Amino acid sequence: MKLSTQTSIVFPKPREEVFDFCTDDENTARTLQPLGPIAGVAKVEMHEGQSLETGAHRTITMTDGTALVEEILDYTRPTRHQYRWVGGVKPPFAWLVRSGTGCWDFSEVSEGTRVTWSYVFELRSPLAYPFALPIVALFKRWMAQGLGAIAAEMAQQRAA
């Protein structure tokens, strides 16, 4: 059984600039901060010798010490960045969710660039659904908080 969520925001900037900012590992650690029990991103590290591209692997160290291993499923500049956790999820989340796939889609709109960030979680069992539902709702708020932080940093760059 799967459970999904998504959020989006429009940046008044060109798509290539938004894509590059959103996929920069250093920006990820600064902008994806904790929200309640949802940990933030402390560090992003590509595996030895790999660059950010389709098929690569990286480790995402969270602010609670969890280290998620991700596989990059699609890295097509400047339109899409998709990844899947392939390991590292710890209880209690691991008791509910088998895996998660995140996708950032970047589309040109009249106001600039729309970023749509979606997540699909594969639940361990249909019995996990009622427990996972409020967690995924909070995760959506965490995603929106992250996109808001990116927007604030990008606006600050413009002002500087």
Asked whether the CA dihedral 119, 125, 131, 133 is positive or negative, the reply is: positive
Q: What is the extent of the structural domain holding 8?
A: 2-159
DSSP string, 10-38: EESS-HHHHHHHHT-HHHHHHH---BTTB
Which residues are 120's β-sheet partners? 4, 101
What pLDDT tens digit does each residue of the chain (160 aa) get?
999 999 999 999 999 999 999 999 999 999 999 999 899 999 999 999 999 999 999 999 999 999 999 999 999 999 999 999 987 887 778 889 999 999 999 999 999 999 999 999 999 999 999 999 999 999 999 999 999 999 999 998 866 5
Tokens of 155: 């606006």
| CATH number of the domain residue 147 falls in | 3.30.530.20
**Torsion angle (degrees, nearest 10) of CA 153, 149, 65, 81:** -90
Query: How far apart, in whole angstroms, are the C-alpha atoms of residue 55 and residue 73?
Result: 6
Number of domains, the chain: 1
